[in-house]
Amino acid sequence: MSQEDKYMVRRYRRLLRWRRYVGSIVKAAKEVLGPDTRVYVVGGAAEGRLTALSDIDFVLVTPNAPQSLRDRVRLAILVRDKAVERYGLPMDYPVDLHIYRPEEFREARKRYGAVIEVE
């Protein structure tokens, strides 16, 4: 097996342990976005179809979501940074954070396959 293959196997095994890092994201999201923030896992992790090239998609639902995409991206980066610095998320763990308002998520949820609420 090549070094690249070994790396991809290690990466895939690490992705399969995504539940281990849920608490880091939840705590950081509630700290940054407010205690009423709801957190969901969607995409490959929720649907059981992860690959070595996947990331873990988290949806953060809060009435405090700003209108502008730029501000939402800034908040997602802040959530990720807090999850790393305070709550043990490995710096190189592949997560993607999406921020919605509740009414936006009700509509967006229709486009997702499986949705898992996490705490």
Q: Give residue 5's pLDDT.
A: 87
Q: Give residue 93's pLDDT.
A: 95
The CATH number of whichever domain residue 46 belongs to comes to 3.30.460.10
Q: Which pTM was predicted?
A: 0.93
Domain count, the chain: 1
The residue range of the domain holding 29 is 3-118
Q: Measured between alpha carbons, how far is 41 from 18 in angstroms, rounded to an integer?
A: 10
In this prediction, the residues of the chain whose per-residue pLDDT falls under 70 are none
Sequence length of the chain is: 119
Q: Measured between alpha carbons, how far is 54 from 35 in angstroms, rounded to an integer?
A: 29
Q: Measured between alpha carbons, how far is 54 from 116 in angstroms, rounded to an integer?
A: 17
Residues 6+ apart with CB under 8 A from 94: 15, 54, 55, 56
Q: Give residue 26's pLDDT.
A: 98
Q: Give residue 119's pLDDT.
A: 86
Q: Give residue 101's pLDDT.
A: 97
